[in-house]
Amino acid sequence: KKPTKSAAKAEKPPRRTVTLTHPDRVYWPDEGITKEGLADYYVEVWRFIAPYITGRPLALLRCPDGIDGSQKFFQKNVWKGMNAHIQSVDDPATKATEELIAIRDLDGLMGLVQSAALEIHPWGSTVADWEHPDTIIMDLDPGDGVAWQAVIDAAFEVKSRLEVAGLVPFVKTSGGKGLHVCAPLKPKTNWPAVKAFTKGLADAMAADEPDRYVSTITKSKRKGKILIDYLRNQRGATAVAPYSTRARPGAAVSMPLSWDELGPDIGPAHFTLANAPARLATLDTDPWSNFRKSARVLKG
């Protein structure tokens, strides 16, 4: 019996149409991952990553010579000779001549790969509604000497505080050192109100358990503690996208998890470009499949 049209469509990865120049250029030398390997990864995870990186301003960590190369720069604006599949978008709040970067489809993502964007960092709002974020992200940054279990405890503490506010929290590895707790919002509340809410949450955690948590960036105060970094939640700030690769040794990716997966076996850089596609292929249900459906209004 032939599979139904929609089932076949769901299983077949999309076709890549953008031509890569120098597909053999090595981006992660220790793992031998090339530009073409990065393109193949993003084709495989396209249906998972698409909702988080299309239709919103993006900042890119570009590394034309790979993660160990001398050129590594954070790019927020369009550039001369930018790949034609990447869009330029105009921030309505600025009269800036410099336009921002966005993509709408897989070709756009391949344009990013072609441009050596080894990390993709979206805004928390979309180009359809710049002023009202649709995602909160609490970035948990462990200082030196913090045990992994303490980072997990912090994530659950953030989870319960977001739930008290009526939101539905989700968790992902950062692909670096920490965890990110995210909550989808209905885009009704403006940036200043969302920032104030997240600052309040971080400050309350630091006030209630000052031995464990800090909410200010001051590095000297962070040793042995976890910074509850709420500053991803302001207009123009970015955080790494779910499923994005990291320009760090090991080719880790930021991986969405279910809350009951959190534990000693899955560290912050456990999932990588190499093992993520197999996880996603065998997963019964994507732990973030209800992400957008779970959006709530944050009472400002």
Site string for ligand ATP, 32-61 (x = CB under 6 A): ------------------------------
> Binding-site residue total for ligand ATP (CB under 6 A)?
13
Q: Applying CB under 6 A, does 74 fall inside the site for ligand ATP?
A: yes
Q: Applying CB under 6 A, does 214 fall inside the site for ligand ATP?
A: no
C-beta separation of 100 from 57 below 8 A: yes
The 3-class secondary structure across 214-262, one letter per residue, is ECCCCHHHCCCCEEEECCCCCCCCCCCCCCCECCCCCCEECCEECHHHC
The number of helix segments (H) and strand segments (E) in the chain equals: 6, 13
Nearest residue to ligand ATP by CB is 176
- As measured in angstroms, the least distance from the Cβ of 24 to Mn ion is 32
Tell me the β-bridge partners of 138.
Answer: 181
| CA distances (Å), origin 30, targets 33, 67, 68, 282 | 8, 10, 10, 27
- Among residues 33, 154, 239, 298, the one that binds ligand ATP under rule CB under 6 A: 239
* Count of beta carbons in the 10 Å neighbourhood of residue 67: 23
- As measured in angstroms, the least distance from the Cβ of 113 to ligand ATP is 19
Q: Applying CB under 6 A, does 174 fall inside the site for ligand ATP?
A: yes
Nearer to Mn ion, 113 or 214 (CB): 214
What is the pairing mode between strands 87-89 and 117-122? unpaired
Contacts of 81 (CB under 8 A, 6+ apart): none
Nearer to Mn ion, 40 or 141 (CB): 141
- As measured in angstroms, the least distance from the Cβ of 238 to ligand ATP is 4
Q: How far apart are CA 191 and CA 20, in angstroms?
A: 38
93 is written with which tokens? Answer: 């709040």
- Among residues 104, 177, 212, 235, the one that binds ligand ATP under rule CB under 6 A: 177
The residue range among 8-16, 85-93, 238-246, 289-297 that interacts with ligand ATP, by the rule CB under 6 A, is 238-246
232 is written with which tokens? Answer: 């991803």
C-beta separation of 27 from 33 below 8 A: yes
Q: Applying CB under 6 A, does 157 fall inside the site for ligand ATP?
A: no
- As measured in angstroms, the least distance from the Cβ of 231 to ligand ATP is 8
Question: Which residues in this chain contact Mn ion in the complex, by CB under 5 A?
Answer: 139, 141, 178, 229
- Among residues 268, 270, 276, 288, the one that binds ligand ATP under rule CB under 6 A: 268
Q: Applying CB under 6 A, does 251 fall inside the site for ligand ATP?
A: no
Which residue do the tokens 């590394």 mark? 63
- Among residues 178, 184, 187, 287, the one that binds ligand ATP under rule CB under 6 A: 178
- As measured in angstroms, the least distance from the Cβ of 261 to Mn ion is 19
- As measured in angstroms, the least distance from the Cβ of 182 to Mn ion is 12
Contacts of 245 (CB under 8 A, 6+ apart): 38, 41, 118, 119, 175, 251, 252, 253, 273
**Site residues, ligand ATP (CB under 6 A):** 74, 121, 139, 141, 174, 176-178, 229, 238-240, 268
